């Protein structure tokens, strides 16, 4: 498992950077999260921007603030804005396509 646990402060710093950033939110006892974690290991090796993870049990206030409905959840942010929340980690190509679509988003 890729271990790059972020605190809320680390996420806010990465989120507010000009590049794309990803925060994978999980809980250790979730079977679906174990599968998603393996996908995120691959994603982290492919992409060139910051990727962190956080156990929702330690960032409950962030979960409330971002209205996270369930885990696993992937927050995709750029320029301080969370553009996407992904709950269904369908496949690695799907995740890469969604990430690329956000990366290609122009600010208005």
**pLDDT tier at 5 (50, 70, 90 boundaries)?**
very high
CATH classification at residue 38:
3.40.30.10
16 inside domain: yes
67 inside domain: yes
2 inside domain: no
Residue 51: domain span: 8-103
Q: Residue 3: is its pLDDT beyond 80?
A: no
Q: What is the pLDDT of residue 2?
A: 56
DSSP state letters, the chain: ----B--HHHHHHHHTSSSEEEEEEE-TT-HHHHHHHHHHHHHHHH-SS-EEEEEGGG-HHHHHHTT--SSSEEEEEETTEEEEEE-----HHHHHHHHHHHHTPPP-
Q: Residue 106: is its pLDDT beyond 70?
A: no
Number of structural domains in the chain: 1
Average pLDDT of the segment spanning 67-83:
95
Average pLDDT of the segment spanning 11-33:
94
23 inside domain: yes
């Amino acid at each position: 498992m890729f271990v790059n646990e972020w605190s809320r402060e680390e996420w806010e710093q990465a989120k507010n950077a000009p590049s794309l950033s990803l925060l994978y939110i999980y809980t250790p006892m979730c079977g679906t999260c174990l599968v998603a974690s393996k996908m995120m290991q691959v994603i982290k090796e492919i992409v060139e921007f910051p990727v962190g993870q956080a156990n929702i049990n330690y960032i409950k206030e962030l979960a409330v603030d971002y209205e996270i409905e369930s885990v696993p959840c992937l927050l995709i942010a750029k320029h301080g804005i969370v553009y996407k929340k992904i709950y269904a980690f369908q496949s690695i190509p799907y995740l890469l396509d969604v990430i690329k679509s956000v990366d290609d988003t122009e600010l208005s």
